Amino acid sequence: MTSPSPSPSPSPSPSPSPFGRALCAMVTPFDADGALDREGAARLAVRLVDRGCDALVLSGTTGESPTTSDAEKAELIRAVREAVGERAAIVAGVGSADTAHAQSLARQAEQAGADGLLVLTPYYSRPPQDAIEEHFRTVADTTGLPVLLYDIPARTGTRIEPETLLRLAGHPRIVGVKDCAYDLMGTQQVLARTELAYYTGCEEFILPLYAIGGAGYISTVANVAPAELRAILDAFDAGDTGGAALLQRLALPLVELVMADGLPGTVTTKALLGALGLPSGPVRAPLRAAGPERVERLLAAYETLAISARPAFEDESEGRQASPSGA
């Protein structure tokens, strides 16, 4: 891939990456009857790790956590751990509007073999900042696992204010943030004053956040394009900033289709996985399947990205392995 010569000045040092750089917010595969597909989850997890994912985030919103049982969440962790071993970290979503329930999920995740926790801002009740801070501290004190805080006010109704994050950064087990706040100024303020690892949860910010010192991404689109997204980070780390920018732009049509029109990313991602013959299964109510026209558009965007980004990584017998563009 042709790009401008690398700048002689060093790139900004990324923030600490406790779970690596390229994280996938994995869907939860179901069988045709809507039950947890343990074998499918294992196969999907192996595919994602083979194609460059450093960690898998299970039972987040993309994993349909609102409609999976606590027992299913634990079984999913065990199935993925058995499949990938120690080749990738497992971060378990333990989001709940009930602090006691989040604590229970955290203990269960630790026992099932998770390496870390993703803790969501309490939703619906919209507590004030001091109560949000206490919620996170209480859950973080429940286990010995490192914790990522999930800041997504569009879904929870309340953001984690930068001042709250600055205070929480002093907790020994709170190590990072999944950032979906769409507040780059606030993000930079926290990055400049803490050691928190910032992972974008918004694919359009993969390169922008990484370029100012972010740790990487936690991506829904990585379910279908893991190597293509990782190539953005690899190119930037190699000093190929022009190549990284091009790869970011090449991914945008697929990102837009996966996330457009208010349709949850889970719906579109499962539809595309299914069309590609990969483990996915149906979504659970109240979500509804994507229509055939959307699936056709998703397939076309995926195929275009796979072809156009191919020079950025090599095809190998065990799956595509990401490598810097221009290498």
> How far is CA 177 from its chain centroid?
11
Q: Would 54 be classed as within a structural domain?
A: yes
Task: Supply the pTM of this predicted model.
Answer: 0.90
Report the CATH number that the domain containing residue 136 is assigned in CATH.
3.20.20.70
Cβ density class 243-263: b for 16+ within 10 Å, e for less: bbbbbbebbebbbebbbeeeb
Q: Would 99 be classed as within a structural domain?
A: yes
Largest CA distance in the chain: 57
Beta-strand relationship, 116-120 and 313-314: unpaired
The whole-angstrom separation of Cα 257 and Cα 294 is 8
Q: What is the pLDDT of residue 11?
A: 43
* Count of domains observed in the chain: 1
Q: Would 295 be classed as within a structural domain?
A: no
Q: 21 with 255: CB under 8 angstroms? A: no
Q: 320 with 227: CB under 8 angstroms? A: yes
Domain of residue 216 covers: 22-237
User: What is the C-alpha radius of gyration for the chain, rounded to an integer number of angstroms?
Assistant: 19
Q: Would 252 be classed as within a structural domain?
A: no
Residues with catalytic annotation?
150, 178
Q: Which two tokens stand for residue 273?
A: 């996985």
Q: What is the pLDDT of residue 313?
A: 62
Q: Would 38 be classed as within a structural domain?
A: yes
What is the phi-psi region of residue 195: left when phi exceeds 0, alpha when psi lies from -120 to 50, beta otherwise? Answer: alpha
Q: What is the pLDDT of residue 3?
A: 40
Q: Would 150 be classed as within a structural domain?
A: yes
Q: Would 56 be classed as within a structural domain?
A: yes
Q: Tell which residue, 45, 65, 80, has the closest CA to residue 284.
A: 65
Q: Would 257 be classed as within a structural domain?
A: no
What are the average pLDDT values for consecutive 10-residue runs of the chain, which has 327 residues? 39 65 98 97 98 98 97 98 98 97 98 98 95 98 98 94 98 97 96 97 97 97 98 97 97 94 88 98 96 96 93 49 33
